[in-house]
Amino acid sequence: MGNKELRVGFIGTGVISHMHMQGYADAPGVKVVAACDIDKPVLDAWCDKYGIPEDSRYTDYRKMLERDDIQAVDVCVHNNLHTPLSVAVMRAGKHCFCEKPMAATYADAKTMYDAWERYNKESDVELAIQMSTIFQSQTRLAKKLVDQGDLGHVYFANVVGHRRRNRPGLESNLSTNFFNKEIAGRGALYDMGIYHIAQMLFILGLPKLDRVSGSMFSEIEPSEKLLKGNKFEVEELAMGFAKFAGGLSLNFMESWAIHMDTIGDTYIAGSKGGVKFTYDPPQPFAPPFPTPSLMLFTTKNGQDIDINMNCGMNAFIEQGEEPYTKYCNNNMMHWYAALTKQIDFRYPTHKIALETARLSEGIALSSELNREICDDEIDELSKPTAMRKQVTEWGTFEYDF
């Protein structure tokens, strides 16, 4: 990675912002020069850790956005603040990298996308959404198989994400904002579900949605001790069934909590072959997590055959053959490399996230209205939930978007 300079500020210095800093660690050109959080002790601890001087620590994002030596802003606040703050960042003429989900509703995601179109024309700013599943060799290899026709006519995808009992902020040690409706908007569907939906929609070439049904549940009584006086207000389980143009069908299930040991596999079925999304066993060079991998099921000489694609090793081979892919394994590196023109393309995470929000919204609306939802109803039925006003100890922020 070259070291062309990109000067970055952060809005939100909570848990996930530290992961972003790890992501930037391999991009020496990224200079994080300022940070903003309304929680002053959290902000100070963060700035002390990363060497941000006193005069570059902000409790009011507007002051940080006035600086003309900042080119890009990394937005790490909770869901219902993504649109208000990302629009403010782009309006200030700065590139914006926003955490997932793009927003808690399709309506808000569309507002952010429209703002990008406007400010991109006016001042060339770019918008990216954190989408780690797009930056996996598993995703690239599956997409290649689909695009090259190795699976034949692709007609069905099963998309699952399973946690037996791990509702963030409740059973895991994260912010309770994850299950606060006003701040997060929604639960399992918009937290982990969007990662898996985005991955599949990207692999399938962002197919045009036709209709969708869905159900969302919150049934498992949270422990009073873990709630600590808070209320659990979002879904812990979501499922959906969607049809796309041409009949392509997608089945989806995402759980933060379910009394079940497994809910099946993510896979794509085509007329000539199918791929199942798996994990490689740990190996030297692999990151501390199991490497997402693939099994290919097809026929040869009339016989069924199963091929282990071993994505961990294939990623090294791929990088040798197609060096650009080394900029495609990490959200932040990819964004930095694209903005500093070290690669001449960028995965359109803002478009993928918008389409993901559309399907997710269809699932949520179907659950709420208890009926199937047609694609053309989503624009009309989706209602914004993004915050217009935020009261803080530093004053009240009125968001204009």
Q: Which residues bind ligand NAD (CB under 6 A)?
A: 11-16, 36-39, 42, 61, 76-79, 81, 99-100, 174-175, 177, 191, 390, 397
Task: Tell me the C-alpha distance between 336 and 273, whole Å.
Answer: 36
40-50 helix and 15-24 helix, angle to the nearest 10 degrees: 20
What's at 95, amino acid-wise? H
Query: 81 vs 354, which CB is nearer to ligand NAD?
Result: 81
Query: 99 vs 126, which CB is nearer to ligand NAD?
Result: 99
Query: 78 vs 276, which CB is nearer to ligand NAD?
Result: 78
Q: Residue 212 forms beta bridges with which residues?
A: 242, 373
Which residue lies nearest ligand NAD, judged by its C-beta?
A: 14
Question: In whole angstroms, how close is the CB of 126 to ligand NAD at the nearest point?
Answer: 20
Using alpha carbons, list the distances in angstroms from residue 154 to 87, 97, 213, 308: 37, 33, 21, 20
Task: Tell me the C-alpha distance between 240 and 238, whole Å.
Answer: 7
* C-alpha of 146 from chain center: 22
Question: In whole angstroms, how close is the CB of 1 to ligand NAD at the nearest point?
Answer: 23
Query: 1 vs 19, which CB is nearer to ligand NAD?
Result: 19
Task: Tell me the C-alpha distance between 294 and 310, whole Å.
Answer: 7
Q: Which two tokens stand for residue 340?
A: 């500093």
Question: In whole angstroms, how close is the CB of 366 to ligand NAD at the nearest point?
Answer: 23
Total number of residues shown for the chain: 401
Query: 314 vs 331, which CB is nearer to ligand NAD?
Result: 331
Query: 45 vs 260, which CB is nearer to ligand NAD?
Result: 45
Region of residue 342 (phi > 0: left; psi between -120 and 50: alpha; otherwise: beta): alpha
Question: In whole angstroms, how close is the CB of 215 to ligand NAD at the nearest point?
Answer: 22
Query: 79 vs 293, which CB is nearer to ligand NAD?
Result: 79
- Other beta carbons within 10 Å of 350: 23
Task: Tell me the C-alpha distance between 64 and 33, whole Å.
Answer: 10
Contact 345, 69 (CB under 8 A): no
Question: In whole angstroms, how close is the CB of 217 to ligand NAD at the nearest point?
Answer: 20
Query: 73 vs 160, which CB is nearer to ligand NAD?
Result: 73
Query: 184 vs 258, which CB is nearer to ligand NAD?
Result: 184
Q: Which two tokens stand for residue 383?
A: 């209602």
Contact 79, 104 (CB under 8 A): yes
Question: In whole angstroms, how close is the CB of 17 to ligand NAD at the nearest point?
Answer: 6
Q: Counting runs of H as helices and runs of E as strands, what totals does the chain give?
A: 14, 17
The residue assigned the tokens 């209709």 is 211
Question: In whole angstroms, how close is the CB of 67 to ligand NAD at the nearest point?
Answer: 15
Helix (H/G/I), strand (E/B), else coil: 93: coil
Question: In whole angstroms, how close is the CB of 101 to ligand NAD at the nearest point?
Answer: 7
Question: In whole angstroms, how close is the CB of 189 to ligand NAD at the nearest point?
Answer: 12
The residue assigned the tokens 């996996």 is 136
Question: In whole angstroms, how close is the CB of 71 to ligand NAD at the nearest point?
Answer: 19
Query: 343 vs 352, which CB is nearer to ligand NAD?
Result: 352
Contact 134, 202 (CB under 8 A): yes
Residues contacting residue 366 through CB under 8 Å, at least 6 positions apart: 212, 213, 214, 215, 240, 372, 373
